Amino acid sequence: MEEQKQQPQEAKAVSEASLTITSPLDLLFNPRSVAIIGATPRENSVGGVITKNLLTKFKGKVYLVNPKYDEVNGIKYYKSILDIQDNIDLAVIVVPAPAVPKVADECARKGVKVAIIISGGFSEVGEEGAKLEEELRKVVQNRIRVLGPNCIGVYNAFNGLDTFFLPEDRMGRPKPGPVALISQSGAVAGAILDWAARRNIGVGLAVNYGNKLDINEAELLEYFARDSRVKVIVMYMEGLKYPGEGKKLLEVMKEVSSVKPLVVYKAGRTRAATGAVKSHTAALAGNYEIYRAMLRQANVIEADNLTDAFDMAKALATQPLPRGNRVLVITDSGGMGIQSVDALDMRGLQVPELSESLQEILRKQLPPLAVTRNPIDLTGSATDAMYKFVLDTVLPTSYVDMALIIALMQIPGLTANLGNYIIEAKRFNKPIVVVSFGGNEYVAKFESYLEENGIPVYHAPHRAAKALWALYEYSKIKGAAKEWW
């Protein structure tokens, strides 16, 4: 799993670290000034997209560095970062790989605290690239912190810092929100953000660390653990690279998960994928069973794919933790109710039959054909008022700990007002997830309204069940964890 290299500038443990406004990692995400070295007016080039992103969206100062230009569209270009009179918090390096060590040296001489090296062509491409990466390591060590190389850098929806070089018509940018993403793959990070943006999921911070010459996932986890804007961390990882890295990452994951939920998808699980991982980011995929054991020991919530990861993150970011594993299922479709019970049972969640006395209360108000045991099937005669009655009657009781609501809006008795009744049920302080399926305008408006008001919506029962499982799993983690903050 590990190569014989020395881990650079090892991160301190979470409990020992102290982030201030001038710490390198804080400046990585919240710089006051940024210099783009390799800036260009050429549209749709890597440097061109980054230049446009920062000039149009970043709330701090932006300086353009490229010896080919003096001025473009009234904006000054500098020949070197050393020619800039002002202080620079963050350098974004977008030059050919052979020129990176020289540029990094100039950044260090300028007093820049941290740099994002977008450029590829290092250890991920073979022996010659590895030699160049080692040269770069010697240049930057103990002088300047580095994210990358071979990465797409940082996306911060709160301040407009965006070094993701994918054009906005190809990669949507999510709105500010409570989810933070750490991704070993740049292309995967871009695809995730695009997917999240199209579904109106708030991802406030995202980072791709590439070859992790210096800054690694452990440090990034520590940083996000301290950011009060972040409620859930999603992490995509392929493999580790340095000796001792697994032990350090395990320690940090365990500490972070005691503070906020950490959802991890580990790719490169099979023998066939091992070679692809190494050629991608120069990491080693290793034996998946070892990683799986590490994630379990670290109290991490493991996802089987990226969709699962964000399904769980949505619930973890918006819902209270349950006190137990008992689920109330309300449905207007018997088939969907059966699917839900299957999915919940496979995840170790219970759908308890309600007491006879509680069922009698329900039967007095519901149609004769309604099933009151749990799942509560309101049938095709369902109305908004029926859902409200069941929620108000059952959810506050000690029989259930959370609710999975299936609302197929094709049924004529349902209106947009059902969304209000579901949102009102938040007052019971129990997790609520909704399953909705279809494509008409009523469905779209219903789903959008719920999501905007903190109720996660899923398009299949098994996805909603996994979200509730994640909430229950994290409730157990929180219950067992000791405070370390």
Is-above-0.85 flag for pTM? yes
Decide if 220 contacts 230 (C-beta within 8 A): no
Decide if 432 contacts 422 (C-beta within 8 A): yes
Query: pLDDT tens, 147-201?
Result: 999 999 999 999 999 999 999 999 999 999 999 999 999 999 999 999 999 999 9
Decide if 29 contacts 41 (C-beta within 8 A): no
pLDDT of amino acid 270: 60
Mean pLDDT of the chain: 91
Domain 20-152: CATH superfamily, name plus number: NAD(P)-binding Rossmann-like Domain (3.40.50.720)
Of 10-24, 139-153, 273-287, 435-449, the range with the highest mean pLDDT is 139-153
Structure tokens at 236: 């995509």
Is 275 or 428 the better-scoring residue by pLDDT?
Answer: 428
Rounded CA separation 282/270 (Å)? 17
Query: pLDDT tens, 278-317?
Result: 444 444 546 778 888 899 999 999 999 999 999 999 999 9
CATH 3.40.50.261 holds for 171-318: yes
Averaged pLDDT, 45-53:
97
Domain 321-478: CATH superfamily, name plus number: Succinyl-CoA synthetase domains (3.40.50.261)
Torsion of CA 62, 66, 71, 77, to 10 degrees: 40
Only one residue has tokens 């210099």, namely 35
pLDDT band at 271; cut points 50, 70, 90: low
Residue ranges matching CATH 3.40.50.261 in the chain: 171-318, 321-478
Q: Across the chain, how many H-helices and E-strands are there?
A: 16, 19
Cα dist from 343 to 163, 346, 400, 475, whole Å: 40, 5, 17, 19
Decide if 62 contacts 34 (C-beta within 8 A): yes
**Residue 56 backbone dihedrals phi, psi, to 5 degrees:** -95, -20
Rounded CA separation 306/437 (Å)? 20
The answer for residues whose C-beta is within 8 angstroms of residue 83's C-beta and 6 or more apart is none
pLDDT band at 439; cut points 50, 70, 90: confident
The order of strands in the sheet holding 71-72 is 71-72, 75-78, 61-65, 33-37, 90-93, 114-117, 145-147
Angle (CA) 171-257-195 rounded to 5° is 15
Q: Where are the alpha helices (DSSP H) in 153-284?
A: 186-198, 217-226, 245-257, 271-281
